[in-house]
Amino acid sequence: MTRKIIIDTDPGQDDAVALLLALASPEELDILGIVAVAGNVGLAQNARNALKIVELSGRTEVPVHAGCERPMRRKLVTAEHVHGPTGLDGPDLPEPQKKLEDKHGVDYIIDTLRTEPPGTVTLCTLGPLTNVAMALVKAPDIAPRIREIVMMAGAYFEVGNITPAAEFNVYVDPEAADVVLTSGVPITMIPLDVTHGVLSLSHRLEGFARIGNRCGKAVSEMLNFSERFDMEKYGNEGAPLHDPCVIAWLLKPDLFDGRKINVTIETTSELTRGMTVADYWRITDRPKNVLYLRSADDDAFYALLTERLARLP
């Protein structure tokens, strides 16, 4: 059965790969819309990048909305040092002909959840959680209508990637993450603990290029650019591939392992701002609010990604 999804994203190279994986899987995923959020770079550039990826995929019927241009209570922190000034450095993609939808992304999320039957729409978040949190604050009635939120966010065993304690998506807007994690909506969290186990090794990037289509070539060029930063930082032979894990989990959940635990967000300490306090060993009696994934079958993950990218132009 096809699952209805909204993808909330700040494209980035790994976001772009996640979008392409979803766009290549129409039998399983009905993408109602894509919403851009400020994160890896500013909102306007992230929205433009989302339009570019939709055009690259040939799925130009999928609407793209722009959401919030700053976190709920913080100044925006971006990651050009990883993704380049465009947020999507690597391939030379043409300026998009497709236009953004007029409706603000937060209002689009609210209106869609109110229109679609309750429990049928999954929110897939690949960036900071600002848009989803703002929708929940503005329209609390949508919370019980959401089937699930599947997020690339957080870390426990791998600690932080933007500070010693925090993963980037949560760090950018910890108040938003707190709103979402205390909303009562079913949540699956895909943290750095998973994504650091699915490395974009050279033979895997070469496999994308060998597909022979424009999307495979673009993905190879994107990841060859963005992986250099993480390879230098971590000393591994490949870089983590974060956001496509969200879509892969929807397509093949048996590739992943995890457990239901409590996850709480640190919002007040400057030292540990944005830390996901994951009670993985169930030390407290706090309610289990998150299905927290721990590991993935990396070979099967890349096989899935390569097979789906080959379906695209």
pLDDT in tens, 76-128: 999 999 999 999 999 999 999 999 999 999 999 999 999 999 999 999 999 99
For residue 1, pLDDT beyond 90: no
For residue 228, pLDDT beyond 90: no
Six-digit token string for 169:
């998506």
Q: How confident is the model at residue 199, as a pLDDT? A: 96
For residue 287, pLDDT beyond 90: yes
- Average per-residue pLDDT in the chain? 97
Is the distance from CB of 100 to CB of 64 less than 8 angstroms?
yes
Instruction: Name the domain count of the chain.
Output: 1
The residues that are catalytic are 242
Q: Are strands 146-152 and 121-125 parallel, antiparallel or unpaired?
A: parallel
Six-digit token string for 165:
């304690």
For residue 72, pLDDT beyond 90: yes
Position 179 confidence tier, pLDDT thresholds 50, 70, 90: very high
Give the containing element (helix H, strand E) for 44: helix 43-57
Position 226 confidence tier, pLDDT thresholds 50, 70, 90: confident
- List C-alpha distances in Å: 51 to 19, 38, 43, 282: 11, 15, 12, 42
pLDDT in tens, 56-67: 999 999 999 999
Q: How confident is the model at residue 8, as a pLDDT? A: 99
Position 296 confidence tier, pLDDT thresholds 50, 70, 90: very high
Domain range for 185 is 3-309
Q: How confident is the model at residue 37, as a pLDDT? A: 98
In the sheet that holds 256-261, the strands lie side by side as 64-66, 29-36, 3-9, 121-125, 146-152, 187-190, 290-296, 256-261
Is the distance from CB of 241 to CB of 190 less than 8 angstroms?
no
d(CA 2, CA 45): 31
CATH number at residue 94: 3.90.245.10
For residue 227, pLDDT beyond 90: no
Q: What is the pTM of this model?
A: 0.98
Q: How confident is the model at residue 257, as a pLDDT? A: 98
pLDDT in tens, 131-166: 999 999 999 999 999 999 999 999 999 999 999 999
Q: What does residue 311 show for φ and ψ, rounded to 5 degrees?
A: -80, -15
